[in-house]
Structure 1
Amino acid sequence: MTKFIFISSFLLLILLLISCATANKIATLKPDPDDAVPLVYESSPSYINLPVTIKLKDIENKTNALLNGLIYEDNAIESDAIEIKVWKEAPITINNAHLGSVEKLTTVLPLKVWIKYRIGTKKLGVELYSYKEFNLNGVITLQSEVNLTNWRLHTKTELKSLDWKESPSMVLMGKNVPITYIINPAISLFRSKIEKKIDESIEKSMDFKPNVLEALEKICTPFEMSQTYSSWLRITPLEIYTTVAKLKSDTFVLDMGMKCNMETLIGTKPNTKYDKNKIILKPVTQIPQQINTNIAAISTYLEASKIMTQNFKGQVFGNGNKKVSVQNVALWHKNGKLVIALDVVGSVNGMIYLSGIPQYNEKNKEIYFEHLDYVLDTKDKLIRTASWLAQGIILRKIDANCRYSIQSNLEEGKKSMMTYLNNYTPMPGVFVNGKMEDIQFQKIQLTNQALIAFIHVKGSVKVSIDGLK
């Protein structure tokens, strides 16, 4: 039995060698691709909403961390007969004032005040002074107007009231005498200092540029949308817009928008094009909520060739003893058309070249090649050596394998995109949400390095940057 198998295998090998020896060899001229140049294509920008929300509690926590201990000191008792030290006595609270249609920050600062007051005169070079010291507890209430300048929220704070826990007084000539007339004028000495301290602390705590830039860096890092097709989505910011910051309830809301280019690339993970040093903040009055996104789906000819080779796998063209199969496919650009190089084996061995213009059929959701035909040299060689292969019926069968529906690709693309629009978190405190209403294929553009399909997506995308972590 083993001997029989060996003889059978040997005979099959001989038949195969004879078959290969008698197959026609075709030597066609290769249409050289256009010179490679940097990939340049027409692109339409997209817009993504970037609402920044910051809780007042976050501002409060950061302000308390920045403003601690002794916050004011005046030791020049000689000039005004008073020496003052002011400490933050307890944590600061920051709330929304809700003053009618105007919303301001209300800051409540519990404080401890130490006052040294000088009583007496100086006559004939003799100092006739006595000193009294007071330790008082009170609460300062401040209100702040808010505006946005250069990535920071700035406040203009004004002291509204100072309430003492007990009325300041001292014993003078055996009597308990209120000293409000002494203390309250002293407030003016440290009032501007306290207001400035609050403004400086809030400004430092409200520098949200690092948070936004870090979030943008994560968003603009290409991420894989489909492992099956090795497709990657890359976002490249062009401009950042922002509206006036608004205080709503217990939250600061800053509507931002990003003008960007969105690309889908096939193959290995592409490099990011994000450069934080080029980000400029531009003020606008309104950010659109409904956005139209244009995505450039870029497929290099090398990657497209791999996919096309898979499409031809197992396909045989012809019949009887006149048939070929395609072993490999290569694509490149030539004079505004796409060259399709087929490496065939069978009754004819060698390379045959076709060319056509890729088009999109909206009804069938498929890519096809208009005016697909053998290039001139290939056609001449086939007519002389394998006219059956040059016939239109074989070309139509090959043409059928060069068509493929992208309906499932559009649906899969939409499904993949939705996974990144449902509370996707590229980093803590950053949330991506949105909806997709429709995906429309627009056009195909050929470059020297890739085939680019432009897709128009209707919907909305919001990237919420929450907090000051």
Structure 2
Amino acid sequence: MKTLLVSVAASAVLLTGCGTAKKIAALKPEPGNTTDVVYKQTTSFISLPVSVTVADIENQTNKFFAGVVYEDNDMKADDVALKVTKTAPIKFTEKNGKLESIVPIKVNGKVRYGSTVMGVEMYDTREFDLNAKITFSSDVKLTNWKLKTKTAIVELEWIESPSITVAGKKMPVTYLINPAIKLFKSRIEDELDKALSEAIDFKPQVLDAMEAMAKPILTSEQYQTWFRLTPTELYATDAVLAKKQITMNMGLKCTMETTVGQQPKNTFKKDQVQLLAVKTMPEKVTATVAAVSTYENASKMITKNFQGQEFGDGKRKVTVQKVDLWAKDNKLIVALDMTGSLNGTIYLTGIPNYNAVTKEIYFDQMDYVLDTKSALMRTANWMAGGIILKKIQENCRYSVKENLEDGKKAMAPYLNNYSPMPGVFVNGALDGFDFDKVELTSNAMIAFIKATGKINLKVDGLK
């Protein structure tokens, strides 16, 4: 079997005269100094169903659609001047997949009546104030991040009939006002569409949310474990209005990584994100979860595996009293303190791996450190062979089930009504945990597990 670590100094082999027991003193491989571990970036695709309530649309639109919505002071063309003002907040409802709005208005008007006799104008004017309610219906679409609507008046309901008082009598002036309605009808429809477009611009909210989510999250203060999500592209389906809310499926193409050590930099640049239109969106998300296991805890668990067991050949046997683990040159050093026919410490190297069925870390390609093997060849050749090594390797394993649960718990707060910014909430669940790789630091082993699940981003209560 190939040796995995080359000794940097000659070993010292000491023999004792205490019966047949021999003492080995191999050179201890010094620990490495790996403090930062970065999980290799992989591209993931997150489905982010986004919803905005009709109540939020109503709230936002009323900020942009206020005051005078139409004014025409020229009476020469049609004998009427009108000033149309919104008098109260617009009320929105969802009806048959369309956005229905009721706008209360006040019409301040002037009408001119009379005639021209022999080139002489003989006119009089009267002012009037009228109240009305206009019902609009709007088709809803999403174009270039913004809500695009096509609005049309469904009904105009006068609180009282348009009329003026002349010589103590009321005279209807509907015939004068109705043609003018066509003018402000088109204007008020355009103004409402403009207000809706300005009010419901998804871009600032979504990009601000992405920027907040892209900030590295400290998932374990003890082990300085960080999770970072970096968005690269954003996709969106058509907006759909139903059940008192506008929904659309967004898809986030991103890289997700877990690092151990110093806080990683936030590399997200929201001004470079483009919104691309697509028809459908996958529902699942792939993320990575780090299960952290200290060498101290792992050593204790592996030591228990050796209790009550002897390893050897015939009368030559040893018992493992204690196991210590540490990292060096991206390999794991396993130190076994032994008593019996051989006293002292032997050193092994191995590559950690994961058993998905038993949820255990075990060690592949296990071999004696070269210095240890040389010492064994001189003092205990019977132990230097592969049979005992294989039996020892079978006991060098431990469960990381609890560590995986800790990793899931560390991510849970960011999937349970997590609000990266006011009015934006993230919910979801991760399952289907599959092992990816193990990385080694100076004080812990990090098992990286790929998880699949769903994430939902909801916009509720926009400011």
- TM-score range relative to shorter protein: 0.7 to 0.9
The equivalent of 1:41 in structure 2 is 40
Q: Could you tell me the TM-score, scaled by structure 1's length?
A: 0.74
Which of 327, 330, 336 aligns to 2:327? It is: 330
Higher alpha-carbon deviation: 428-437 or 107-116: 428-437
The equivalent of 1:253 in structure 2 is 247
The equivalent of 1:152 in structure 2 is 146
The equivalent of 1:170 in structure 2 is 164
1:433 counterpart = 2:430: no
Structure 2: tracts of 5 or more residues without a match: 1-22
The equivalent of 2:130 in structure 1 is 136
RMSD: 4.4
Measured after TM superposition, the shift of residue 206 of structure 1 is 0.6
The equivalent of 1:59 in structure 2 is 57
Q: 1:451 to 1:239 in 2, by over 3 A?
A: farther
Letter in 2 for 1:41: K
Measured after TM superposition, the shift of residue 382 of structure 1 is 5.9
How many angstroms apart in 2 are the aligned matches of 1:226 and 1:169? 75
1:50 counterpart = 2:44: no
Deviations 1:135-178 (A, max 9, x none): 21111221111100121111111122222111112345775331
Does structure 2 conserve the Cα–Cα contact (< 8 Å) formed by 1:430 and 1:463? yes
How many angstroms apart in 2 are the aligned matches of 1:461 and 1:385? 60
What percentage of aligned pairs have identical amino acids? 42
Measured after TM superposition, the shift of residue 192 of structure 1 is 1.6
Q: 1:281 to 1:121 in 2, by over 3 A?
A: same
How many angstroms apart in 1 are the aligned matches of 2:448 and 2:434? 9
The equivalent of 2:68 in structure 1 is 70
The equivalent of 2:19 in structure 1 is none
1:340 counterpart = 2:328: no
Letter in 1 for 2:42: S
Letter in 2 for 1:413: G
Does structure 2 conserve the Cα–Cα contact (< 8 Å) formed by 1:298 and 1:452? yes
Q: 1:219 to 1:52 in 2, by over 3 A?
A: same
Which structure has more helix as a fraction of its residues?
1
1:367 counterpart = 2:361: yes
Letter in 2 for 1:215: A
How many angstroms apart in 2 are the aligned matches of 1:278 and 1:341? 48
Letter in 1 for 2:245: T
Q: 1:266 to 1:92 in 2, by over 3 A?
A: same
The equivalent of 1:464 in structure 2 is 458
The equivalent of 1:8 in structure 2 is none
Which of 295, 315, 321 aligns to 1:308? It is: 295
Does structure 1 conserve the Cα–Cα contact (< 8 Å) formed by 2:32 and 2:327? no
5 Å-filtered alignment, 1:71-86, equals: 71-86=69-84
The equivalent of 2:236 in structure 1 is 242
Letter in 2 for 1:340: I
> In structure 1, the residue corresponding to 2:329 is in which secondary structure?
strand
Does structure 2 conserve the Cα–Cα contact (< 8 Å) formed by 1:218 and 1:426? yes
Q: 1:435 to 1:324 in 2, by over 3 A?
A: closer
How many angstroms apart in 2 are the aligned matches of 1:386 and 1:268? 45
Does structure 2 conserve the Cα–Cα contact (< 8 Å) formed by 1:244 and 1:285? yes
1:407 counterpart = 2:401: yes
How many angstroms apart in 1 are the aligned matches of 2:99 and 2:224? 50
The equivalent of 1:13 in structure 2 is none
> In structure 2, the residue corresponding to 1:467 is in which secondary structure?
coil
Measured after TM superposition, the shift of residue 371 of structure 1 is 1.9
The equivalent of 1:380 in structure 2 is 374
> In structure 2, the residue corresponding to 1:83 is in which secondary structure?
strand
Q: Could you tell me the TM-score, scaled by structure 2's length?
A: 0.75
Does structure 2 conserve the Cα–Cα contact (< 8 Å) formed by 1:153 and 1:207? yes
Q: 1:358 to 1:183 in 2, by over 3 A?
A: same
Q: 1:326 to 1:362 in 2, by over 3 A?
A: closer
| More contact order relative to length (CA 8 Å, sep ≥ 6) | 2
Which of 175, 178, 191 aligns to 1:197? It is: 191
Measured after TM superposition, the shift of residue 112 of structure 1 is 1.1
How many angstroms apart in 2 are the aligned matches of 1:199 and 1:262? 39
The equivalent of 2:437 in structure 1 is 444
Does structure 2 conserve the Cα–Cα contact (< 8 Å) formed by 1:215 and 1:430? yes
How many angstroms apart in 1 are the aligned matches of 2:211 and 2:367? 47
How many angstroms apart in 2 are the aligned matches of 1:171 and 1:411? 81
Measured after TM superposition, the shift of residue 223 of structure 1 is 2.8
How many angstroms apart in 2 are the aligned matches of 1:31 and 1:176? 101
How many angstroms apart in 2 are the aligned matches of 1:452 and 1:423? 28
Deviations 1:385-444 (A, max 9, x none): 897996769866975785332222223333444454443444443333334443232x43
Letter in 1 for 2:295: M
How many angstroms apart in 1 are the aligned matches of 2:99 and 2:243? 11
How many angstroms apart in 2 are the aligned matches of 1:32 and 1:308? 13
Equivalenced residues, count: 428
Does structure 1 conserve the Cα–Cα contact (< 8 Å) formed by 2:153 and 2:189? yes
Which of 92, 95, 98 aligns to 1:97? It is: 95
Measured after TM superposition, the shift of residue 120 of structure 1 is 4.0
Does structure 1 conserve the Cα–Cα contact (< 8 Å) formed by 2:319 and 2:338? no
Which of 285, 289, 295 aligns to 2:288? It is: 295
How many angstroms apart in 1 are the aligned matches of 2:447 and 2:43? 12
Measured after TM superposition, the shift of residue 195 of structure 1 is 0.9
Letter in 2 for 1:81: D
Q: 1:445 to 1:326 in 2, by over 3 A?
A: closer
Q: 1:415 to 1:27 in 2, by over 3 A?
A: closer
> In structure 2, the residue corresponding to 1:78 is in which secondary structure?
coil
Does structure 2 conserve the Cα–Cα contact (< 8 Å) formed by 1:222 and 1:272? yes
How many angstroms apart in 1 are the aligned matches of 2:32 and 2:221? 33
How many angstroms apart in 2 are the aligned matches of 1:327 and 1:359? 18
Structure 1: tracts of 5 or more residues without a match: 1-22
Does structure 1 conserve the Cα–Cα contact (< 8 Å) formed by 2:295 and 2:324? no
Deviations 1:104-159 (A, max 9, x none): 11121111112222334556775433222222111122111110012111111112
Letter in 2 for 1:356: G
Q: 1:28 to 1:421 in 2, by over 3 A?
A: closer
